[in-house]
Amino acid sequence: MSDTAGPFVPEGAGIDGLREAATGCRGCELWEPASQVVFSAGPPAASIVLVGEQPGDQEDRRGLPFVGPAGQLLVGAIKDAGIDPAAVYRTNAVKHFRFEPRGGRRIHKTPDVHHITACHPWLHAELQVVAPGIVVALGATAGRSVFGRPVRIAAERGAVLEGAIPDSSAKALLTAHPSAVLRMRGEPGYDDAYAALVADLRIASAAAG
């Protein structure tokens, strides 16, 4: 049988119940080397849900999503888009940090499709509970999880889509992952990349209802 979090997801649970249950998730192999599960942050009745890829090194240590460098950039972009960061529900497509140990460091490794698929029952349950107006998928991994298909950021970003999330009535919008913007810091395209992320978040906020 393929890996799946399905049997670990309690039916009818709220966000706190899901978070608690996720601590015992063995739906794929990523739980073992990780320090802990990183579930989500933000109000369970939010009108905007942001979905990232997976926790990074700092998120894994602290048990909270988007607290590292990419998360700080994201919070700045959320504020610049005129959104209160505390009003947004933040989560990830994959709930454990995938990394490769190298010389005493833990190097981020992009999740494989089977990790995204295995972890999807958590995101599905979160979206059922939160029932947001819009789900913003940050990057290709989040896009794959939210839309259930491969996505292309450059071609598809910034559009408000209806009926695009399987089994959810929330609207959806795909944009770049904040890490992709962060990697451009110091390069000529950085300002434009950051502005494009802010613009997409503004569009999402206006569509959230």
Task: Give the residue with the Cβ less far from ligand URA, 62 or 202.
Answer: 62
Question: Does residue 52 touch ligand URA according to CB under 6 A?
Answer: yes
Nearer to ligand URA, 164 or 181 (CB): 181
Q: What are the DSSP E strand ranges found in the chain? A: 40-41, 48-52, 89-92, 99-102, 105-108, 134-138, 171-175
Supply φ then ψ for residue 129, to 5 degrees.
-75, -50
Q: Name which of 138, 52, 135 is nearest 98 in CA terms.
A: 52
Considering the rule CB under 6 A, would residue 70 count as an interface residue with ligand URA?
yes
**Residues that contact ligand URA, how many (by CB under 6 A):** 13
Contact with ligand URA (CB under 6 A) among 27, 42, 68, 111? 68
Nearer to ligand URA, 117 or 179 (CB): 179
In angstroms, the CA 186 to CA 87 distance is: 31
Among 21, 37, 46, 53, binds ligand URA (CB under 6 A): 53
- Under the criterion CB under 6 A, does residue 66 sit at the interface with ligand URA? yes
Question: Residue 6: left if φ>0, alpha if ψ -120 to 50, beta else—which one?
Answer: alpha
Task: Between 41 and 203, name the residue whose CB sits nearer to ligand URA.
Answer: 41
Q: What distance in Å separates the CA atoms of residue 33 and residue 101, rounded to the nearest whole number?
A: 10
Q: How far is the CB of 65 from ligand URA (least distance, A)?
A: 3
Binding mask 89-128 for ligand URA (x = CB under 6 A): ---x------------------------------------
CA pair distance 65, 86, nearest whole angstrom: 13
Name the segment binding ligand URA (CB under 6 A); options: 52-60, 124-132, 148-156, 201-209: 52-60
DSSP symbols for 35-90: SS---EES-TT-SEEEEES---HHHHHHT-TT-SHHHHHHHHHHHHTT--GGGSEE
What does the binding site for ligand URA look like in residue numbers (CB under 6 A)? 52-56, 59, 65-66, 68, 70-71, 92, 179
